[in-house]
Structures are given as structure tokens and as C-alpha cells.
Chains A and B, each alone.
Chain A
Amino acid sequence: MKILVCISKTPDTTAKIAFTDNNTKFSEAGVQFIINPYDEWYALVRALELKETQGATVHLITVGGADTEAVIRKALALGGDEAFRVNADSHDSFYIASQIAAVAKQEQYDLIFTGKETIDYNGSSVGGMVAELLGLPFVSIASKLDVNGTTATLVREIEGGEETVEVSLPLALSAQKGMAEARIPNMRGIMAARTKPLKVVEPVAAEHLTSVVSFELPPAKAGVKMIAADQVEELARLLHEEAKVF
């Protein structure tokens, strides 16, 4: 089995969000970058579990500049076999999906994982776009994946419940919580990652369909109204009459 895991570099979950250049650029000053948690904890780890239990080659891909290499090395340290970095900087999902699809077309994967969404642009788009560009079925927001021969069984989230589906490989999926548990790379993995292949490929020609015009920060909260613990009825009154939420 040959698996591709799409990796995105995102700011750490506790990063302070600020913008520069007249609110058109994310300020990277002092920001730690991590593997997008959905890509790492659920997609990559499940791919590695399949490698361990059934045997598979796990490739990683990211679209980004040289500064994404620390993140991709960490993913290799967790157990990926080799990685591609498409040397391009873009925040347009279609452009990114086009780059991933171009590499995947050459390599012919049985499974292509993305995380449910990235925690920076929250688009949850790249997986579905890659699937369409490659003509593969796409199972979104999956919390379980089992592979038996050439058949995959998945559980995915739907409104008000869950759906169990069956699909023949190859397929693309987006992974969420439930699929696997987070892992920490060990020293051996970190050492091995240094020498694993990380191929830098130049981007193919593709369109940008969207562009960010500007960013905004939400207005500050007016401040919390504290109610004494023996005045719980007052809270109910405020919610009913002031906030009008029930």
C-alpha cells in the first residue's frame, strides 16, 4: 500500500494572532510553527499505524518555502518514509491542491490523507479538491478508517450522527479526532529523519482562484458581568431578559 499524507505548517495553537503590512499579512514575529494538528495527530498517525500493521510506504507532501522543512522533518521523525516539498508559497486552496495532485498523479497512491482542516485558514478544502483533480472518491471528516485488501471502511461525521461507508481504494479522505492518538517522536526517529529523502520539486502551473484582501481582529469583548454564586436566579433573568438567549 502506498500512502500520501498532506502536511500543512500552521502557527502553534497558542500563538498570538497579529497582522502587518496594513492588515494584509500574518505577523510571524515570535510565532512557533507546528504541523497542523489534524494532519499530524489523526492523518499521519493513522497512516503510520497502517504501515505498522499492514505494511505500507508513507510519503509526506507540503507546499511551502524552505521554512517549512523543520515541520516536515518532524513528520519524518514520527515515521514517514520520504517527503516532497513543493517550492511555492500560496494560501489558495486550489493552487495547493493542484500541486499535490500533480505529484500524486506521478506516484499513484492508494490513500491520500489530509487533516479535517488547517487551524490557520480553516478552509477544509484541499482534500476534496485533490480528490476531484485526481478523479478519486473523497470521504470527508472521517473518524475511523480500516483497510482490508483493496476495500476501505470509514466512519464519517454527518449532522446529528455518523455514517459508516465502504469504498474501494484508491481514495482521498480528511481525518479528524477519533482516528488515532497523538504520538511524540523518539530520539531514534529524530536521528533517522535527518537522512530521509526530502525532495524539493518546483510547482506546476496552476491558477489562484481566491486571494486574501485583508485580515481583521474581532472587536474586544465588553467585559464579563460577574454574578454572585447565591444569585443564580439573577443569571437566569439576565440571560432571558438582557441577552435574550432563551
Chain B
Amino acid sequence: MSVIIFADQFQGKVKKSALEAVQYGSKVAQQLGVPAIAIAVGEIDAAELSALGQYGASKVLHVADARLNEPEAGAATKLIAEAVAKENASVIVFSHNFAGRSIAPQLSAKLKAGFVAGAIGLPDTAAGFVVKKNVFSGKAFANVSIGTDKKIVSVMPNSFSLAPGEGSAAVEAFAAGLTDADFRIKSLKVETVSGEVPLTEAEIVVSGGRGLKGPEHWGIVEDLAHTLGAATACSRPVADSGWRPHHEHVGQTGFTVRPNLYIAIGISGAIQHLAGVNGSKTIVVINKDPEAPFFKAADYGIVGDAFDVVPKLTEAVKKYKGN
């Protein structure tokens, strides 16, 4: 028996969300008293793979196939199923990131293995296998029981902080029986938003709303984000007006983020917006309207003019960063 964790990579580095999955899977393996085995696909440095030992993996299966650098979901599903059979895995762990959302449900149907998507707690194995997850867009939690022998869990990004220890994993080449017919989705191009922090992986997010009055005023948001090493985001009206790209929209119909710090500037805090950010550990709201509903969901608030407050906050943060 074993726990298998899909450790997906981006441009040769294991994603932070995948490291969280490896750490989570290793803890599940400890609970069950079985080894934690990571599986990585695509071109990736051996040192990067053996470092997964720091997060609890004892072994890493590596499928060094360049066609899997951005994994084709069908091919990835097939090869993970082969690894599950080879290692007799009872639990398979993914990150609930974009790759995980694509592959995990297919693997679930293929293996008829019960799947909980977006776990925010370790499984309770005292009576069966019960995993806590967000439901109703973060407005509630559900404890979901998996009743099948094989179980699949995907881990909500930014829900578990990384605590690397000592250790090095043995890297083993894994020859998956893939043929050209398994690659039905052809990647034409990959465009990366370079130099920016990916929104869904960011530990700090600085977000702007209609209160900023126009796209030309986003400099103060970007300056604060840059100073904090944060990703930038926006509310739905801002994305709908074309002030900012759609991939920055957080909220019920945009992206859900769970950073350690979410700073909302000029966002009133409609319930649909809160649904996308209410998993954030600390929320700061800066709004000139003292009645803005967002203050009720905030940890810290300032009633004031964003154009005055935000540059001052950037300067104040710089002082701490300098120390």
C-alpha cells in the first residue's frame, strides 16, 4: 500500500501548490503507516525531484517525457493509473490547481475511486475516511466521506503552509506505456504572464475595485503589490469594464483565492466578491465609504481615500522591508 501524490511542475520547477500536495499526501501516508510516493512528469531537474523528500516523499517516479511538460490530461490520467497499480496506492493526492482539476476527476471515473475536490483538512481516519472541504463558495464546509477502497483527494491551494524538513527522495525513472494516441489534446502555445506572481498561488493579493475610478489609476495598486511581492486582482465590475484582464477577476464567478493577506482597495464587498476571497487569512479593506459591507468581513480597515492611503501604505511597507 502507498499514497501517490501528483507533483506537477511549471517550466521545470515543482509548483508551490504541488509541494503543498506532497506535504499533505505525506501526512496522510504517515496516518496510514505507508510510504508517500510522488509522481512527476515532463522535463525536470533531478535535484528538484529529490528535494521532494523535504516534504515527506520517500520516492519520486519520474516520467521524463517532454510531451508532458504541460501535461495532456488524458495521458496524465493513464500514466497515474499505471503508477497507482504498480505501487498499489490506496490514496492519490493532487493539488486542486488547474492541472489537478483536469486530471483528478478523470482518474476518479477511471478507477471508480471516490474523489473529494479542494480539501482544507487532513482526512479523519478514525471512522472511515472523511475529508473537510469548502462548499457554497467558502460560505460553509462539508465533511465528505469516501466509501471506495481507492480514494482521491485534491488539496485546496494555500490551505496548508509549507514546512520543509530534511530528507531526500529517491528518484526512479518510470516508463509509462503511452502512445501517440494518448495525446489527443495538442498544445499550440503556452503564454505566461511573466514577472508576475500567479494569482491563485499568491500569498499576498492586492485587489482594486470601481473605487479606483479608471484603469489609469492602477499604478498605486501595482506599486503596493510589487513592494509586497503580491499578485494583483480586481472585482467583477472592473474586469467587465475592461479596466483589467479577466484572469484578475476574483469572486464567485471569477477565481477563488486564499492568500495569507488580501488587501481590497475601493471594493464595496458584494457577497459574490466575498465568496471568492473569504478563505483569506487576513483581510484589509480600504474604502472611503464607512458603510461598505466589506468592513464586516475584514480584519483591518481604513476609511479613507485610496489615492492618499495606498501610496502611504506602500511607503510604510517599504520601511519594514528595508529592515
Chain A residues in the interface with B (C-beta under 8 A): 11, 13-14, 17, 19, 37-38, 41, 93-94, 97, 119-133, 137-141, 143, 153, 156-168, 174, 177-178, 207-218, 221-222, 224-229, 232-233, 235-240, 243, 245-246
Q: A222 — nearest CB in chain B belongs to which residue?
A: B299
Q: What's the Cα separation between A123 and B115 when bound, in Å?
A: 9
Q: Could you say which residues of chain B place their CB within 8 Å of the CB of A41? A: 253
The reply to whether the CB of B271 lies closer than 8 angstroms to some CB of chain A is: yes
* Contact status B184-A13, CB under 8 Å: no
Which of B40-48, B163-171, B311-319 contacts its partner? B311-319
| Bound Cα distance from A137 to B78, whole angstroms | 12
Cα A177 to Cα B245 with chains together (Å): 11
Report the minimal beta-carbon distance from B128 to chain A, rounded to whole angstroms: 9
**How many cross-chain pairs have Cβ atoms below 8 Å apart between A and B?**
281
CA–CA, A125 to B247, complex, Å?
A: 21
B70 within 8 A of A: yes
A129 B108 Cβ-Cβ under 8 A: yes
Determine the chain B residues whose CB is within 8 A of the CB of A165 once the complex forms: 185-188
Residues in chain A near residue B98, CB distance under 8 A: 140-141, 156-159
Provide the bound-state CA to CA distance between A12 and B111, in Å: 34
Besides the contacts A217-B139, A221-B297, A221-B298, what 9 more A-B pairs have beta carbons closer than 8 Å? A122-B133, A141-B102, A157-B98, A159-B200, A159-B201, A177-B239, A209-B108, A221-B296, A229-B303
**How extensive is the interface on chain B, given as a class?**
35 or more
Contact B109 A133 (CB under 8 A): yes
Selected contact of A227 from candidates B101, B282, B300, CB within 8 Å: B300
Looking at the complex, which of B85-93, B172-180, B189-197, B215-223 is the stretch in contact with chain A?
B189-197
Chosen A-B contacts, 16 in total, with CB atoms closer than 8 Å, are A37-B252, A97-B105, A122-B133, A122-B134, A140-B73, A159-B15, A159-B97, A159-B98, A163-B70, A163-B187, A163-B191, A164-B188, A209-B112, A217-B141, A245-B203, A245-B260
> Interface 1/0s, chain B 241-264, versus A by CB < 8 A?
000001101001110000011000
Instruction: Please name the residue on chain A nearest to B262 by beta carbon.
Output: A245
Q: How far is the CA of A162 from the CA of B98 in the complex (A)?
A: 11
Interchain nearest-CB distance for A88 vs B (Å): 18
> For chain B residues 256-298, which have a beta carbon within 8 Å of chain A?
260-261, 271-272, 275, 278, 281-282, 284-285, 295-298
Write the residues of chain B forming the contact surface with A, with a CB cutoff of 8 angstroms.
10, 15, 17, 70, 73-74, 77, 97-99, 101-110, 112-118, 130, 132-148, 184-193, 196, 198, 200-201, 203-204, 228-229, 239, 246-247, 249, 252-254, 260-261, 271-272, 275, 278, 281-282, 284-285, 295-305, 308-309, 312-313, 316-317, 319-321
Are B146's CB and A159's CB within 8 A? Answer: no
Quick check: A120 and B313 within 8 Å, CB to CB? Answer: no
> Once the chains bind, are B275 and A119 in contact (CB under 8 Å)?
yes
In the complex, which residues of chain B have a beta carbon less than 8 angstroms from the beta carbon of A236? Answer: 313, 316-317, 319-320
Nearest chain A residue, comparing its CB with the CB of B197: A160
